[in-house]
Structure 1
């Protein structure tokens, strides 16, 4: 008769087989399951707002898993959310290399390239990807307020670009004259006076043609030559004919860049002609420091020294010094906001005309909302105060100005390289001198061709 232990031996072996063999079969899959758990943990960290921890978690696995599209996509998302944009570019480039038809990956790559400022890389992608990934190019919508040179591409190549603008507009005060009731605003004790015929605000339509070109020639990894030039011709209708004008602005200099910092020093020159006569010439220097936190955020601090000369009015010749700083933040959907502060002084060169000199201080800011890939709405506000140095010899009061300039408009990209911008611009100068107290409204439509 067999013992009890002998009877239970087959059962014991069967039980061991049921437990051990599944464990042995799943053993090769354990690393993969652990890695997938790491991806899930990284995704949860990103959703919880701790993108940096997610990036660090995946960074430790990148050497082993780079080339796996699932891992690379997770790495790209975590790196972008953690503002590690260069690493996001590398991760999404690997995804696109293994899956060239993956449009979603191409869009993410476009966003990452945009973040590091690689416009050439973005332009190399398919048009439908460019249009969907980066709604209305924010920088071009505010370049009338914040002037900067084209920066180096991701590969450190020389760059140049420009545009041609054609504008049609209606101006409510082309001569920047006071209203008809200006004499009623005369301060008490002012000698009798009246506006000369045609000195009050004059309405006119105008057309303008503007061309701009700017660029950078890279000498090495840190040094570049920079230059820009703008020319504009403006012609008016009716009462505005005497204010037909031509203007040329140019500057050239050097740039030194290291990591996130860029310093620029450039010489500036400008001339303004009106009704066939040269009204003003400007020469000076501009020093600029740009600190780029990343491809979406930057600080721009400047110091500008200028010499202003008026050929027909020598007493107005002056020296001007202005310094300020601005912050720009481009949101990841293409919207943006910016704000800045500045201050300075304009001092007459001639003696005995201190009433023409003034201190100035100003604030400016703006918002652009990306409605879609082709449409954006924007607004800009600039408030400036000017305090003059001496009493006006005729009115017997010290001039104080508070000027408010507000712009509201939309930007439409009907096709690549083309932009149409209708906008309202309203200016109000609140002055203690009645002849410099004025309102101005300009409605314009600008067609731009970029190249």
Structure 2
């Protein structure tokens, strides 16, 4: 909120208060605060001193001292509109919206208040009312269209033949086209819509729908599509930490046919650390149902932790996927994953976007064909740019590389993609 006025209670002031006021008006709040602080005890009954000291303390981050200073001004002069408005502002800065609104109510009812200032304060009071009731409702979304080239659309080996231990006596076997690496151009469309509505000041309901469709040129067998729906509730605790619980469902199609349905839930606790940073802990459970392949049906359990900074996010997660039929237990596995993502501005409308992730998977039982337990280590790297064309449109050129090392030759592969995307957010 802009200051109502920068004038003290009396027309005249001494040099010390005048010097502090000049510093305050030129944006040097810290210097103004340091100038007045040594005289606080001696001049605690001076309204001029307290008013300027309150301004300097508020704008330099000393909110408790500012509140006390403005209260001393009002104790000497309850009709000091500027001091009451500033007191309301500091209460709002401190997170006490209820008290801030009460103070502003007193200000806007002052008949001497100029109409333009009254209108501004009316808007502030309406905004506080909205915050008190939880913030109202909002809807947002995005559409992302991209195209490029994928060196390995089916995440397959580049070998033409492999030896399967169970049939080793027959020599190497020739792999079919679908089991060998295929490079194709592709295009993809992603879209999402999300909404949130307040139940109370601390509790909100949220829901989202995310869809994507990817088509490969001249190879429809590996086209992909998915729809993911999420709904849940988030509750802000007294210390401003957030606890959320949500349910999620996803339908995945491969080659135009239904491939997998997953249903589950996610719980998350987020600790706010200030300066836009946060620490989160999560736990999840999903039931996976594979069409036409009941041996792969599984229950997936996972836990994770992440740290979000202003320009990066780091996370670690792990868990277990357990098939629901003993005959498929060679497909059950433990997993652990670490991830680092960075979005670093390099110009006013340009940011460098990069990521690196590693995952380890260890399977429970020996595979009946390869006569050994499968072991995988995977590395994923991405590098791109995010160029803002307008407030809600940007373009994103991107390169990605994946390498999966496996003791099964059939699952040992690498993959590279190059793409260009245009994204619209609303």
TM (norm. structure 1) is 0.68
The answer to whether the 8 Å contact 1:224/1:256 transfers is yes
1:115-134 matches, cutoff 5 A? none
Deviation, structure 1 residue 36: 6.1
Q: What is the match of residue 169 of structure 1?
A: 148
Aligned partner (choices 5, 17, 40) of residue 32 of structure 1: 17
Displacement, 1:158? 2.2
| Rounded Cα–Cα distance in structure 1 between residues aligned with 2:316 and 2:199 | 33
The 3-state SS of whatever aligns with 2:177 is coil
**Alignment counterpart, residue 289 of structure 2, candidates 293, 309, 330:** 309
> Quick one: which of 189, 205, 215 aligns to 2:195?
215
Give the CA deviation at 1:206.
Answer: 1.1
Matched, 1:340 2:315: yes
1:436 equivalent to 2:425? Answer: no
Contact 2:13 2:48 in 1 (8 A): no
| Counterpart residue number, 1:376 | 351
Give the distance between the partners of 1:181 and 1:206, measured in 2 at CA.
24
Deviation at 1:183, TM superposition (A): 2.6
Tell me, what secondary structure is at the counterpart of 1:353?
A: helix
- Match status 1:391 vs 2:366: yes
Q: Distance in 1 between matches of 2:385 and 2:131?
A: 28
Contact 1:182 1:434 in 2 (8 A): no
Q: What is the alpha-carbon distance in structure 2 between the residues aligned to residue 65 and residue 440 of structure 1? A: 69
CA apart distance, 1:38: 9.0
User: Structure 1 pair 292/182, CA: closer, same or farther in 2 (3 Å)?
Assistant: farther
Q: Deviations over 1:147-191 (max 9, x none)?
A: xxxxx989723222100111112100001110126638x789955
1:266-277 equivalences under 5 Å are 266-277=246-257
Gaps of 5+ in 1: 1-26, 47-52, 88-97, 99-112, 114-151, 331-335
Matching residue of 1:447: 422
Q: Is the 8 A contact 1:174 1:203 kept in 2?
A: yes
In structure 2, C-alpha distance between the alignment counterparts of 1:340 and 1:348, rounded to whole Å: 26
Equivalents in 2 of 1:375, 1:353: separation in Å? 48
Counterpart for residue 285 of structure 1 = 265
The alignment yields a C-alpha RMSD, in angstroms, of: 3.8
Q: Cα distance, 1:242 vs. partner?
A: 1.3
The answer to whether structure 1 residue 225 and structure 2 residue 205 are counterparts is yes
CA distance in 2: counterparts of 1:314 and 1:221, whole angstroms: 46
Contact 2:29-2:57 within 8 A present in 1 as well: no
8 Å CA contact 1:171–1:443 kept in 2: the answer is yes
Aligned pairs for 1:329-368 (under 5 A) are 329-330=309-310, 336-368=311-343
Q: 1:200 aligns with which of 165, 180, 199?
A: 180
- Which structure has more RCO (C-alpha within 8 Å, separation ≥ 6)? 1
2: CA distance, partners of 1:187 / 1:173:
25
> Does the Cα contact within 8 Å between 1:354 and 1:389 map onto a contact in 2?
yes
Closer, same or farther: CA 308–198 of 1 in aligned 2, 3 Å: closer
Query: Is 1:244 the equivalent of 2:244?
Result: no
Aligned length in residues: 344
User: Which residue of 1 is the match for residue 108 of structure 2?
Assistant: none
CA deviation after TM superposition for structure 1 residue 395, in Å: 1.4
Structure 2 portions without partners, runs of 5+: 1-11, 68-81, 83-92, 94-129
